[in-house]
Amino acid sequence: MNYHFHPEALHEYAGATQYYADISTSLAIGFVSQVEEGINLILLYPQAWQPIEEDVRRYPVKRFPFRIYLQPSKTAKTL
């Protein structure tokens, strides 16, 4: 299954990664790892996450105050 980031979400992800990197490299690596794990789970189980609107679901990133919002479609998922 294909996915892509909404431009604002990609900007926010990059900013959060930089924020954690400024604190600690290992913290940034942990953050990216948890986001990537979330993306993999979303791709495997797109309907498993909490719906917040009719066509939008939310995945909570483990250990970090960050959420991935997804909008599944038949061809790709927007994160």
Q: Is 66's pLDDT higher than 70?
A: yes
Mean confidence (pLDDT) of the chain: 90
**What global pTM score does this model have?**
0.85
Beta strands 76-78 and 67-72, pairing class:
antiparallel
The separation between the first and the last C-alpha atoms of the chain, rounded to the nearest angstrom, is: 13
Classify domain 2-78 at the CATH class level: alpha beta
Strand locations in 1-79 (E): 2-4, 50-53, 56-60, 67-72, 76-78
pLDDT digits (tens, 9 = 90+) for 19-56: 999 999 999 999 999 999 999 998 888 888 889 988 89
Q: Map out the domains of the chain as residue ranges.
A: 2-78
- Residues 39/79, Cβ–Cβ less than 8 Å: yes
How many whole angstroms separate alpha carbon 58 and alpha carbon 67? 6
pLDDT digits (tens, 9 = 90+) for 8-17: 999 999 999 9
